[in-house]
């Protein structure tokens, strides 16, 4: 059983978090599951509630600032993915925080914890840091913890939205917006396909076909991103 009152245990937790608590009672409460608490008010549930809200705000702020050309729908999808139970549980595991969670005797320590509990632990930790050190400390912890995932989004774009990624790249590097040119269309009205190309400044990039204009533009944006060395070519992606 984890002894959260042990000085060495507290030090290990703070090292894992890269944060030193002023109020050690908040650290203890943050890592106390309801199954181990005398009553639910003594558990980390209230901190989990608070941490969930702080996490959502910080992630929204980062996405809004970093991805200035993404539309609301793209930002919403990214936010939902980043603050999901699965993602939060993944970060908890990467930091090894689950090893310090105090749970009741009815929960076996020989089996992996449910993702919902691991995710709740991360949110409780965020809530505890927020109460202990304020918003800026919680913000630093969240951005550091999610940095790899945020960098991955920067490279991949929002769920394969190559047009959004190309637009962001073009505005950041060239100060222009890509132009999409419809080159050709074939087939009867009920079964057409379209060919589009991207023009970026004075350069034309490899065209692409799609069953809709939107799909053709996405594929053309993908070709441009590959040719600009922004992303790597996917072997399974058909132009």
The answer to whether 3 is a known catalytic residue is no
Q: What is the largest CA-CA distance in the chain?
A: 75
Q: Considering only CA atoms, which of 17, 22, 42, 43 is closest in space to residue 122?
A: 17
Sign of the four-CA dihedral 154, 96, 143, 50: positive
If residue 53 lies in a helix (H) or strand (E), which one and from where to where?
A: helix 45-66
Catalytic residue among 52, 74, 195, 197: 52
Catalytic residue among 45, 74, 118, 123: 123
CB atoms near residue 224 (< 10 Å):
27
The answer to whether 23 is a known catalytic residue is no
**Chain centroid to CA 1:** 32
Task: Take residue 168 and report the two structure tokens written for it.
Answer: 């962001």
Q: How many residues does the chain have?
A: 239
Instruction: Encode 156-174: b = buried (16+ Cβ within 10 Å), e = exposed.
Output: ebbeebbbbbbbbbbeeee
Task: Take residue 75 and report the two structure tokens written for it.
Answer: 């930002």
Burial bucket for residue 62 (CB in 10 Å: 0-12, 13-18, 19+): buried
For the CA atoms of the chain, what is the radius of gyration? 24
Which residues are part of the catalytic machinery? 52, 123
């Amino acid at each position: 059983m984890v002894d959260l009152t042990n000085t060495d245990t507290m030090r290990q937790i703070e090292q894992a978090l890269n944060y030193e608590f002023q109020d050690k009672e908040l650290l203890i409460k943050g890592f106390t599951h309801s199954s181990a608490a005398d009553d639910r008010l003594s558990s980390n549930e209230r901190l989990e509630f608070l941490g969930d809200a702080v996490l959502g705000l910080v992630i929204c702020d980062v996405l809004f600032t970093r991805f200035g050309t993404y539309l609301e729908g793209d930002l919403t999808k990214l936010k939902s993915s980043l603050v999901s139970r699965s993602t939060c549980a993944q970060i908890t595991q990467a930091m090894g925080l689950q090893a310090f969670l105090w749970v009741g005797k009815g929960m076996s320590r020989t089996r992996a914890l449910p993702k919902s509990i691991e995710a709740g632990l991360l949110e409780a930790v965020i809530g505890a840091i927020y109460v202990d050190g304020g918003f800026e400390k919680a913000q630093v912890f969240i951005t550091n913890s999610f940095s790899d995932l945020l960098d991955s989004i920067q490279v991949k774009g929002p769920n394969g939205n190559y047009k959004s990624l190309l637009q962001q790249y073009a505005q950041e590097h060239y100060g222009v917006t890509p132009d999409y040119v419809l080159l050709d269309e074939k087939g009867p009205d009920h079964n057409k396909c379209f060919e589009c190309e991207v023009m970026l400044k004075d350069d034309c990039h490899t065209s692409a076909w799609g069953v809709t204009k939107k799909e053709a533009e996405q594929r053309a944006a993908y070709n441009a991103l590959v040719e600009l060395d922004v992303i790597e070519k996917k072997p399974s992606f058909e132009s």
